[in-house]
Structure 1
Amino acid sequence: MYREEPYEYNEADSGWRFLSGDEDDCYMDNSKNHGVYLVNTICNYDSDIMPFLDAEPGTAYIRDEKGNFILAEE
């Protein structure tokens, strides 16, 4: 998961983007593979993200081999 600057024209945009990590360019280029959801909806699927929601734009986290979120290295 990573956070960008939210889009100014969309008050509901938190800036968070959630991916599984195995998407290739072909998958990402297809807009039918993307959706916009409230962060609360995503938290209902995975409450592990909640402690990270106040992170600054430009921050990214990945899951380690144990499934814990860790700060992604660039």
Structure 2
Amino acid sequence: MFGFKKKKKYKIPADKIKRLIASEEGCIATDRITVDGSKVGFMYREEPNSNYPDSGWRFMAGDEDDDYMNNPENHSVYQVNTICNCDSDIIPYLDAQPGTAFIRDKTGKLVLDEGWENPED
């Protein structure tokens, strides 16, 4: 028997997404951001996949545990612009080099995560 994916109810409907950045590249983001409406709490950039219009960016709320992250139904591919609509705080950091990560600090500001180790290394 085949399972059917549950239809997601996004925090921002597609017809309400505004063009905030020029890029049409993609990224991966968790449902904590796109469905639950959480701000981006952790973001990192991998080397973009040259086979796709991939930015290399991965966005999480920061409170997702391993079980959540290991379930592919909890994250999807989006245009980076969509995630900018969910949390415009990320926009100033989008030109960061692959291998870079940012985390939201206690004041609520995204800051360079100097202790992060790129899983690709």
Q: Name the count of aligned residue pairs.
A: 73
Q: Which has the higher helix share?
A: 1
Q: Deviations over 1:4-40 (max 9, x none)?
A: 01111112x1110001111111111110011111011
Measure the CA separation in 2 of the matches of 1:66 and 1:48. Answer: 13
Q: Deviations over 1:26-55 (max 9, x none)?
A: 111110011111011111111111110000
1:39 alignment partner, one of 76, 80, 99: 80
2:97 alignment partner, one of 56, 59, 62: 56
2:45 maps to a residue whose letter is R
Query: Which structure is richer in relative contact order (CA contacts within 8 A, separation 6 or more)?
Result: 1
The root-mean-square deviation of aligned C-alpha atoms, in Å, is 0.8
TM-score by length of 2: 0.58
Percentage of pairs with the same residue: 66
1:66 maps to a residue whose letter is T
5+ residue gaps, structure 2, are 1-42, 116-121
Measure the CA separation in 1 of the matches of 2:94 and 2:81. Answer: 10
2:51 maps to a residue whose letter is Y
5+ residue gaps, structure 1, are none
The structure 1 segments of at least 4 consecutive aligned residues displaced by more than 6 Å after TM superposition are none
Measure the CA separation in 2 of the matches of 1:66 and 1:42. Answer: 21
Considering only CA atoms, is the larger Rg found in Structure 1 or Structure 2? 2
